[in-house]
Amino acid sequence: MADTLRPFVYWGQKTDQIFLKVDLRDVENEVVKLTESGLTFNAEGFGVRGQNYYSIDIEFYHPVDPEESKYRVLGPCIEFQIKKSGDGEIWPRLTYDKIKMPWLKIDFDKVAYEDSESEKEEKNVDHAEYMKHLEKELLSNRDIEPFPDVKTCYLFVYNLVQFVGFTYIFTALTYHCVRDVHFAFSNTMEIAGTQMLFVQLAAVLEIVHPLLGLVKSSPLPAFMQVTGRNFVLFIVVGQEPRLHQTSVLLILFLVWSSIEVVRYPFYMLSVLGKKNDLITWCRYTAWVPLYPLGFISEALVIVMAIPYYEQTEKFSVFLPNSFNISFYFPWFLKSYTAVFIPAGYFMMSTMYKQRQKACKSLKLFGTKKE
């Protein structure tokens, strides 16, 4: 399968057992087939290339006993304990073929022999020779990570650009608030308007990414958030200069940028197949106070805009006209505010479910890994 990736697999042994640790988190739909000659494993999870479908296929150096072997799925990994067949002996390698596999590493926590000295002597194991082999393999395992593919580079650069943009907006607005809060309230668009227009326009790509299969997520939450923000920014605020000097606009920009300065670093790590517990916790916790505040701020901006658009009649269409239709934009804004309740509930319930799944294995603030 072209889309199948290999997770990192760490292995160690005793004279009678093989230990495997598959570096794959949040595993779902795993399929395990262990025979005397080998192991086949397929699952979906979060590994070296982020959330994806991973597979391993190992032909063992010597036969094993599947009936006496076992495995368990943990939060951060999958562990195998495989019983060797026949008389116990130290294998010079895990695989039957002497082929270098960059995803297969030595687990040095599992190479320490737990047998007594007399047992080691009885099995006539040349420890010095074996440790030289381990040292040689360790040096050969210092591989340079392959250069990321085009998709990974693109997603990383996109998230980096968005992170820099929102960080500038948050920093600039915070600086002016500290320096002169009255100036910041009345000049929000002058301070960060251009940057906000740029990053929100670029955010349209977040609707396109899942549709093209670049990321594994539903396009609906991204569509609701991006279109909602852009409607408020480009249509409601962008076409009515009197809203540029309202204090609620400053609050709205600060809320939006606060959400994104923790969201995009999480995405940057994800596309590289990495995870940081603190960043993950912030990404799935910051929304708890910020999402409701953002919904309220957007609703206030729209309510404040209604009398302005009643005066200017901009975007309204009156009869008679060639299309024989009428449209009164202030009424649309009034009805649009009613959408915030179901839309807000959907967004927050989606984030709550994601938080339960993402944070269950974090070792942070008293949360224990499974």
Sign for the CA dihedral angle at 232, 236, 238, 244 comes to negative
Q: Name which of 36, 138, 52, 41 is nearest 80 in CA terms.
A: 41
Question: Closest by alpha carbon to 295, among 348, 222, 247, 250?
Answer: 348
Query: Hey, what are 355's tokens?
Result: 């938080």
65 phi/psi in degrees, rounded to 5: -110, 100
CB atoms within 10 A of CB 121: 10
Q: Is 101 exposed, middle or buried (0-12, 13-18, 19+ CB in 10 A)?
A: middle
168 is catalytic: no
Identify whether 298 is a catalytic site residue.
yes
Contact 271, 155 (CB under 8 A): yes
**From the candidates 284, 298, 309, 336, which is the catalytic residue?**
298
Which one of the listed residues 130, 168, 291, 308 is annotated catalytic?
Answer: 291
Contact 9, 104 (CB under 8 A): yes
What DSSP character marks residue 103?
T
Q: Is 363 buried (19+), middle (13-18) or exposed (0-12) by CB count in 10 A?
A: exposed
Q: Which positions are annotated as active-site residues?
A: 291, 298
